[in-house]
């Protein structure tokens, strides 16, 4: 079911230090979900994009751990664009939002924290089917 929550940027803790900066995320404190899974996307060739799916249940927090990239989200009606450029910012993506990651800078790393273990059943990867699902959710 589509969430009442919306995609939004969040500022994460940032520990300044002359030795270098440190940022951390704790479940149910900096994100409002249990972190069940962490994955990261790297070595993305120029011009490639990732994602292009929606989740039925999974909540995500996406961080540009290195470099920068753009995340586009879509709720079935409107697209929104978020530039992730800082390792102390996260983009929260609720379930029910189609999302793509693109415009990766060279050497960038997309770190993703997810509220579920991986299961393909939680993915909608067909955009036409997603539109149909979002239309029905909008009517419900
Ligand atoms: P995919 O979801 O297509 O990547 P993205 O949406 O980020 O572009 O995943 C690529 C492959 O990796 C696919 O075969 C599923 C697998 N995978 C896992 O096994 N576990 C995971 O946690 C994730 C995110 C993907």
Ligand 1 shell residues, CB under 6 Å:
37, 39, 41, 50-51, 53, 118
CA geometry: angle at 73 spanning 89 and 38, to 5°? 50
| High-pLDDT (> 90) share of the chain, % | 95
Question: Please, are residues 79 and 72 in contact by the beta-carbon 8 Å criterion?
Answer: yes
Contact residues for 24 (Cβ-Cβ < 8 A; gap 6+): 12, 13, 15, 30
Q: What is the mean pLDDT of the chain?
A: 96
What's the predicted TM-score (pTM) here? 0.96
Averaged pLDDT, 50-62: 98
**1 pLDDT higher than 60:** no
Top mutation candidate among 52, 118, 119 for ligand 1, by most atoms within 8 Å of CB: 118
Is residue 111 predicted with pLDDT exceeding 90? yes
Give the pLDDT band of residue 140 (cuts 50, 70, 90): confident
């Amino acid at each position: 079911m589509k969430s009442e929550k919306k995609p939004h940027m969040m500022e994460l803790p940032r520990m300044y230090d002359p030795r270098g900066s440190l940022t951390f995320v704790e479940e149910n404190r900096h994100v409002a979900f249990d972190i069940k899974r962490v994955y990261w996307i790297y070595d993305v060739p120029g011009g490639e994009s990732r994602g292009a799916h929606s989740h039925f249940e999974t909540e995500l927090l996406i961080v540009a751990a290195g470099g920068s990239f753009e995340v586009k989200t879509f709720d079935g009606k409107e697209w929104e664009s978020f530039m992730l450029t800082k390792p102390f910012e996260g983009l929260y993506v609720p379930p029910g939002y189609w999302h793509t990651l693109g415009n990766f800078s060279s050497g960038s790393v997309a770190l993703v924290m997810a509220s579920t273990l991986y299961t393909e059943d939680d993915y909608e990867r067909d955009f036409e089917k997603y539109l149909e699902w979002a239309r029905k959710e909008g009517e419900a």
